[in-house]
Structure 1
Amino acid sequence: MNAEATMQKACLVTGSTGRNGAGSAIVRWFAKKGWRVVVNYSRDTQAAEAVAAECAALGAADVLVAKADVTSDEACRAMAAEIERRWGRLDVLVNNAAVTTFNDHKNLDGLSFDDFQRVFAVNVSGAYVATRAVAALLRRTGNASVVNMSSVGGLRGTGSSMAYAASKSALNAMTFSFARVLAPEVRVNALLPGFIEGDWLVNGMGRARYESVRAALIAKNPLKSVQTPDEIAEAIWWLVNGPAALTGELIQLDAGGRLVV
């Protein structure tokens, strides 16, 4: 690896293949900046290859497509080893992979024990396992960053289901823990979006409810908007490249929705 290549920074975004989603927007954003990027996925190889092609076309220094289920410690460690072999460094990890079970919070019988297990396995344990797998690479960089994709639901007990809200609250707590443990070489923060436009919510809520909720939020939010995947990517970029003293923070990005009384 030549001296010029070692200066090229590398970013891993877990769950970065969703169509019109935040994960693919984030990895494309870093690609546009000329970074090396890892397109991580667990099932859909075709979608991963499509995102990788987009990243290459946008100017990524290099693109690695890595199949790894974040609930598998073995798979995450293998992905970390592949990154080390290919580039010898990792500068940024974005823990974006997440799942939910859409269920009205009032419907207590709508969530099973298995629903909770699945949501926590990906949203909490998955972020832990992925971070642990690449911790040594991040520390070696000496000025690295981890961003956990959380949710305002983790603060308010709202969102797609009670299991999802609880998992994001746990992820917030883990953000504090990792910020202490990985300092001073690695900064760890969390981004807490509100409603993000895109297919993930459309598919989970149904088109009619999606449009109704979106319109209601735009009407009441102080900034009269909801979030787009590109706005999430821009915020992640700021967290990675912003104030060097920023760590252990939960940054809300909800068009001022938290201010509504």
Structure 2
Amino acid sequence: MSKTFADCIVAVTGASTGLGRAIAQGAAARGAEAVIINYHANAAEADETAALVEEAGAKAVLVRGDVGDDEDCKKIAAAAEPFGRIDALFNNAGVTAVALDQSDLGALNSEDFMRLYRVNVVGAYQMTRGARPLLEAAPKRAAVVNTSSIAALTGVGSSIAYAASKGALTTMTLCLARVLAPKIRVNAVCPGFIDTPWFAKRLAADQMDDLREHIKNAVPLKEASTAEDICGAALFLASPDARHVTGETLLVDAGAHLAFSF
């Protein structure tokens, strides 16, 4: 594997499992010197991510914190201070509220919206703000990659609140790309379905099998994406290969968006 992150200091929020874990492990395998692994609740899963990062050759630094809390964001960024810089920040932490019948406007309340915006939008903003001095200290142009969603572009997701929050995150990506240039690039990756433990914890095994089969039949590439299928695109956006890419939104959804009219 090419060492596109050789000697880099990488920070990943929401990295205890799923896409965040895949990004952390992928950066380590590509030569990162250290990976800051943020998690919110599950210390055991975060320890597993740390072990995978160390196995891949990077130093793992675990930091517990809620990105919706500004002081926690400062603490997460500060974990990189001993290294003097952050070369790549992945704002991956996110939450949702499930309300699949989007015609039922009573399924969501203001607290649902505020919780999702606090983590999915404000959290990414606060993390970027907290990490800015260390990002600007990177010897080469640093990168921020936000994990948005196909829901940001289609308006279809686990709930209206979720789609709206990811739409806001995608717009904020443009704002930050403009104001943080030329020292920091800011882009977003927009996955579709990702086969992660989030679903497995909520569905029975046969339901998961049915969901995977449904996704395979619904998308042009006929595959249900895994975290490993998505993380390469996120890592690309943070790598030197994308050094002239900023303010972009990259859809990584096995072609699911082709079923929608924009």
TM-score of the pair, normalised by structure 2:
0.90
- Cα 1:179–1:205 shift into 2, 3 Å: farther
Indicate conservation of the 8 Å contact 2:28/2:35, yes or no: yes
Q: Which residue of 1 aligns with 2:242?
A: 243
Secondary structure of the 2:75 match is helix
Report the aligned-residue RMSD.
1.6
Q: Which residue of 2 aligns with 1:90?
A: 86
- Counterparts of 2:96 and 2:142, CA distance in 1: 29
Give the alignment of 1:70-85 within 5 angstroms: 70-84=67-81
Give the alignment of 1:1-261 within 5 angstroms: 8-18=7-17, 21-35=18-32, 36-60=34-58, 62-84=59-81, 86-104=82-100, 105-141=102-138, 142-204=140-202, 207=205, 209-241=207-239, 242-260=241-259
Indicate conservation of the 8 Å contact 1:102/1:205, yes or no: no
Q: How far is the alpha carbon of 1:30 from its aligned partner?
A: 0.9
Q: Which residue of 1 aligns with 2:3?
A: none
Q: What percent of counterpart residues are identical?
A: 40
Residue 67 of structure 2 aligns to which amino acid in structure 1? V
Question: Tell me, which stretches of 5 or more residues in structure 2 are unaligned?
Answer: 1-5
- Structure 1 residues 126-135 or 229-238, which shifts more? 229-238
Indicate conservation of the 8 Å contact 1:194/1:226, yes or no: no
Indicate conservation of the 8 Å contact 2:154/2:257, yes or no: no
Q: How far is the alpha carbon of 1:177 from its aligned partner?
A: 0.5
- Counterparts of 2:205 and 2:116, CA distance in 1: 23
- Cα 1:87–1:229 shift into 2, 3 Å: same
- Counterparts of 2:164 and 2:200, CA distance in 1: 22
Residue 43 of structure 1 aligns to which amino acid in structure 2? A
- Counterparts of 1:253 and 1:71, CA distance in 2: 26
Secondary structure of the 1:145 match is strand
Residue 17 of structure 1 aligns to which amino acid in structure 2? S
- Cα 1:170–1:205 shift into 2, 3 Å: farther
- Counterparts of 2:215 and 2:40, CA distance in 1: 32
Q: How far is the alpha carbon of 1:47 from its aligned partner?
A: 2.1
TM-score of the pair, normalised by structure 1:
0.91
Question: Tell me, which stretches of 5 or more residues in structure 1 are unaligned?
Answer: 1-6
Secondary structure of the 2:38 match is strand
